[in-house]
A and B are shown apart, each in its own frame.
Chain A
Amino acid sequence: MYIQSAYAVSPQGSFSELLESPAQYRGDRLTCKEPDYSKYIDSKLIRRMSRIIKMGAAAAMECLQQANVTMPDAITTGTAYGCLADTDQFLTRMVEFKEELLSPTAFIQSTHNTVGAQIALMLKCHHYNNTYVHRGSSFEAALTDAIGLIGEGEAQTALVGGVDEIIEKSHAILSRFDLYKKDGDTANLIGDPEKGTMAGEGAAFFLLNSNREAGCLAKLDAFQNWYKPKVPAATLVEDFLKRHEAPAGSIDLVITGANGDARYDGVYEALKQSVLNAIPAITYKQFCGEYPTSAAFALWMAAMIVSTGKVPGAAALAAPKRVLVFNNYKQLYPSLYLLSAC
């Protein structure tokens, strides 16, 4: 399986910005740097679409443009929270206007499949289209579906994405669950001795291709995720590497999902001391923040790393040929991605 192209709308403007001078954030959240949507979306649609739809559609279109593919055989999308701004708008009006005088637009766009559906609509793509909404494994489920569909022989290319947005109200509610630092700083988020992380958001899309096409970014050697596994993370990693015949020594770089929350980062540290010992390691959530589909950002970063040979925040590192991504959202949804240079 190959990642033919990839693009992320994220708190970082681009991969080269990430290499040269990554955007820094203070406070309790990171916000996406939105692209010039007119490059991707009709101006009438831009006005109508909420932010998450625009971010998702732009990431998808850029991804297709890079691959020079106009019609993917499938579109699968993962989103934990769905279209929060539209949901909030409809719900708030419904409460304030006591179920009267509502307009349908926000409701229409509030359904969880809106991003995938709008991409299909823009492409006039009648092919397979599915949306996964399973918390910290939403993106992984969309990827699982696409790989299964390709395996079934029903598709050769699949556009796969992970999207989630922060809105004021969801952030206010999530903050009450004691998830975020009050005065975080991405410059020293990872390794911070206090509890809490910084919230993030983003939209990352990938064009998977069962064939190796010219210009392909990376080979996806293996991928696996779990739901509340009963065995420790170290065992999952060890078994995964064994099963895919990738001894730790063959891996040039590990990207982990440490998020700066002192309550949980020990888990990643322990892995680095044991099964991933002596492999150069970096983190990614200081770039995109913590959110349920952040592994999509990590996968984009990993694909760019094996493609360009350059590593954000580790310029001295020799060009990695093989990269392992390990994220474990809330220590409930571990996922592993193994990529190599095309």
Chain B
Amino acid sequence: MLNCLRSAFHDLPSSHHLISNMSKEQTVYIGGVGVISAIGNNVAENLDALVSGRAGMQAMQRLQSVHKDTLPVAEVSLSNEALAARAGLPDTISRTALLSAVAAKEAIADADIEYSKWRTGFISANSVGGMDKTEDFFPGFLEDAGSGDLKMVVNHECGAVTEVVADALGINDFVTTISTACSSSANSIFLGARMIRQGLLDVVIAGGTDALTRFTLNGFNTLMILDQEYCQPFDENRRGLNLGEGAGYVVLMSEAVAATLHKKPFCALSGWCNANDAYHQTASSPTGTGSLLAMKGALKKSGLSPAAISYINLHGTGTQNNDIAEGTAIATLFEGNYPPMSSTKSFTGHTLGASGAIEAVYAVLAIREGLVFPSLRLQTPMKDLPFSVTTVLEKKKIDHVLSNSFGFGGNCSSLVFSRTAFNHL
């Protein structure tokens, strides 16, 4: 099969360094990480907040909405102007792109890699695209179809947001955008890994971004799944989620690329799986069928048994529906041997298309630091589940992290991150 693929398809154009190792089992290393969220503008600040239990939600500061006083959100503290200065982009560009650029640049700097020497891809994800600008353009446009500054809609498309950043980074060997609602950026990460394993690319900057918009805030509000207080994932009395914003990226690379880095990687993406719940457009099945298939598939791909998992970073939105579906699936899969688990959305809010990637960065940090991050604000564990989430920071050796990202449309993806000593070559 792979031979057929190699001979028939996609020899990407470039040729800087031909990789001879096309083994399916090739290790895909994570050489660098970058993140921006309500709990910090970079990896160090995010880690500090996770360690000290400092959540990012508060009353709405930047987003202009009639729900300002009722719906808390987890906003990135920087203004568009400040983000633009960090990103080296004009401040008139969509906030979704600005967040993306800041986190992607940090990931690249962390990997300390000259990616222009390699066949490099930029695979990003988002759910809102340039909607932050479009929703400001729209009131004037509705009054007069000839009015409004067209510059505000040029980056409306999800793909346009990705291109702003890809072009700024000078990446064009492979550029694409995934949008599967809240699982979007988990998908971009494994697509990058697969393309590296198949020998199509050497380096992939993969992740996702989403800015808060009135469009998504009101959308989730109509579904009545927004918590007017700070969310309490996996609590018996949970009331819903808080929306957040941010971006996260990992720098994925082949073994040959990893061998050239000054700072040797300590972590790899070892497993992944994408499955569909096929139950309802927005609700999860009570059995968590999609979640279970995704977790099971990811473990199988990594070659690990459930007992090998040291920590689960839950999707854990804090909605009634998600947490019982996800919890039920975990109860089925782990059958009495539950690893520590937590929802870092209790810090960052639900960052939608960015959440899979932000939590991927946290998974890498958990392995590096030997930490299980706590779930905040848990008061009463869910009665129908045989386990409870971790509420205090726990120090222990972490070898394998399972990270869940589930979304509208039944889209469920799970990733497995593993400690992998760099011992090749």
Known: A107-B223, A150-B1. A117 touches B176 (CB 8 A): no
The interface residues of chain B lying within 8 Å CB-to-CB of A116 are: 180, 409
Beta-carbon contacts of A120-148 to B below 8 Å, as 1s and 0s?
A: 11011111111111110110010011011
Contact, CB under 8 Å: A223 / B218: no
Which residue of the partner chain B has the closest CB to A225?
Answer: B10
* CB of A113 closer than 8 Å to a CB of B: yes
Contact, CB under 8 Å: B159 / A135: yes
Contact, CB under 8 Å: B218 / A107: yes
Contact, CB under 8 Å: A94 / B175: no
Smallest Cβ distance from B305 to chain A, in angstroms? Answer: 20
Smallest Cβ distance from A137 to chain B, in angstroms? Answer: 7
Which residue of the partner chain A has the closest CB to B161?
Answer: A133
Which of B67, B163, B276, B282 has most chain A Cβ within 10 Å? B276
* CB of A262 closer than 8 Å to a CB of B: no
Beta-carbon contacts of A227-267 to B below 8 Å, as 1s and 0s?
A: 11111000010010001100000000000000000000000
Beta-carbon contacts of B217-243 to A below 8 Å, as 1s and 0s?
A: 011011100000000000000000000
Contact, CB under 8 Å: A121 / B281: yes
How far, in angstroms, from A82 to B278 measured CA to CA in the complex?
Answer: 20
Known: A80-B159, A152-B194, A176-B146. A111 touches B181 (CB 8 A): yes
Contact, CB under 8 Å: B65 / A222: no
How far, in angstroms, from A172 to B147 measured CA to CA in the complex?
Answer: 11
Known: A113-B181, A227-B175. A135 touches B281 (CB 8 A): no
Range of interface residues on A (Cβ < 8 Å):
35 or more
Contact, CB under 8 Å: B5 / A147: yes
Contact, CB under 8 Å: A108 / B278: no
Contact, CB under 8 Å: B127 / A112: yes
Known: A81-B157, A107-B223, A111-B179. A92 touches B138 (CB 8 A): yes
Beta-carbon contacts of B166-177 to A below 8 Å, as 1s and 0s?
A: 110000101111
Number of interface residues of B (CB under 8 A): 74
* CB of B134 closer than 8 Å to a CB of A: yes
Known: A118-B281, A153-B1. A138 touches B135 (CB 8 A): no
Contact, CB under 8 Å: A104 / B179: no
The interface residues of chain B lying within 8 Å CB-to-CB of A90 are: 215, 218-219
* CB of A224 closer than 8 Å to a CB of B: yes
How far, in angstroms, from A141 to B172 measured CA to CA in the complex?
Answer: 14
How far, in angstroms, from A110 to B181 measured CA to CA in the complex?
Answer: 10
The interface residues of chain A lying within 8 Å CB-to-CB of B12 are: 224
Contact, CB under 8 Å: B278 / A120: yes
Task: Give the segment of A95-103, A191-199, A311-319 that binds chain B.
Answer: A95-103
* CB of B336 closer than 8 Å to a CB of A: no
How far, in angstroms, from A144 to B221 measured CA to CA in the complex?
Answer: 36
Known: A126-B276, A131-B178, A134-B175. A94 touches B214 (CB 8 A): yes
Known: A134-B162, A151-B198, A177-B150. A104 touches B222 (CB 8 A): yes
**Total inter-chain residue pairs, C-beta < 8 Å:** 217
The interface residues of chain B lying within 8 Å CB-to-CB of A10 are: none
Contact, CB under 8 Å: A126 / B275: yes
Contact, CB under 8 Å: B180 / A129: yes
Interchain CB contact (< 8 A) of A133 among B9, B178, B411:
B178
Contact, CB under 8 Å: B180 / A130: yes
Known: A91-B135, A128-B274, A228-B172. A135 touches B163 (CB 8 A): yes
The interface residues of chain B lying within 8 Å CB-to-CB of A228 are: 167, 172
How far, in angstroms, from A93 to B289 measured CA to CA in the complex?
Answer: 35
Known: A82-B158, A152-B194, A226-B13. A132 touches B8 (CB 8 A): no
Contact, CB under 8 Å: B409 / A113: yes
The interface residues of chain B lying within 8 Å CB-to-CB of A157 are: none
* CB of A307 closer than 8 Å to a CB of B: no
The interface residues of chain A lying within 8 Å CB-to-CB of B160 are: 135
The interface residues of chain B lying within 8 Å CB-to-CB of A99 are: 65-67, 214, 218
Smallest Cβ distance from B350 to chain A, in angstroms? Answer: 14
How far, in angstroms, from A206 to B178 measured CA to CA in the complex?
Answer: 20
The interface residues of chain B lying within 8 Å CB-to-CB of A14 are: none
Contact, CB under 8 Å: B178 / A1: no
Known: A90-B215, A99-B67, A222-B9. A173 touches B410 (CB 8 A): no
* CB of A210 closer than 8 Å to a CB of B: yes
Contact, CB under 8 Å: A117 / B281: yes
- Contacting B at CB under 8 A, from A179-229, are 210, 220-224, 226-229
The interface residues of chain A lying within 8 Å CB-to-CB of B10 are: 144, 147, 223-224
Known: A126-B275, A130-B180, A173-B153. A113 touches B138 (CB 8 A): no
The interface residues of chain A lying within 8 Å CB-to-CB of B145 are: 169, 172
* CB of A114 closer than 8 Å to a CB of B: yes
* CB of B24 closer than 8 Å to a CB of A: yes
* CB of B408 closer than 8 Å to a CB of A: yes
Beta-carbon contacts of B128-158 to A below 8 Å, as 1s and 0s?
A: 0100001100110110011000100100011
Contact, CB under 8 Å: B278 / A125: yes
Beta-carbon contacts of B250-283 to A below 8 Å, as 1s and 0s?
A: 0000000000000000000000001111111110
- Contacting A at CB under 8 A, from B167-223, are 167, 172, 174-181, 187, 191, 194-195, 197-198, 200, 214-215, 218-219, 221-223
The interface residues of chain A lying within 8 Å CB-to-CB of B13 are: 226, 229, 231, 236, 239
How far, in angstroms, from A99 to B149 measured CA to CA in the complex?
Answer: 23
Contact, CB under 8 Å: A151 / B127: no
The interface residues of chain A lying within 8 Å CB-to-CB of B277 are: 126
Interchain CB contact (< 8 A) of A151 among B1, B280, B281:
B1
Known: A94-B214, A118-B281. A131 touches B179 (CB 8 A): yes
Contact, CB under 8 Å: B157 / A94: no
* CB of A286 closer than 8 Å to a CB of B: no
Which residue of the partner chain B has the closest CB to A118?
Answer: B281
Contact, CB under 8 Å: B157 / A80: yes
- Contacting B at CB under 8 A, from A275-329, are none
Known: A113-B181, A134-B162. A108 touches B408 (CB 8 A): yes
Contact, CB under 8 Å: A127 / B222: no
- Contacting A at CB under 8 A, from B367-425, are 407-411
Smallest Cβ distance from A118 to chain B, in angstroms? Answer: 7
* CB of B290 closer than 8 Å to a CB of A: yes
Which of A99, A102, A125, A153 has most chain B Cβ within 10 Å? A99
Smallest Cβ distance from A165 to chain B, in angstroms? Answer: 14
25 examples of A-B residue contacts, CB within 8 angstroms: A94-B135, A95-B135, A95-B138, A96-B142, A103-B222, A108-B281, A111-B127, A111-B181, A112-B180, A113-B181, A117-B411, A120-B409, A121-B281, A121-B410, A131-B179, A131-B409, A134-B175, A148-B191, A148-B200, A149-B194, A151-B9, A152-B1, A210-B4, A223-B10, A229-B172
In the complex, given contacts A109-B281, A134-B159, what are 15 additional A-B residue pairs having Cβ atoms less than 8 angstroms apart? A80-B157, A91-B138, A92-B138, A100-B66, A111-B181, A117-B410, A126-B278, A128-B274, A131-B179, A133-B159, A135-B163, A137-B159, A148-B191, A223-B9, A226-B172
Pick the 9 closest A-B CB pairs, nearest first: A117-B409, A151-B5, A107-B219, A112-B179, A134-B159, A104-B222, A135-B159, A133-B158, A129-B276
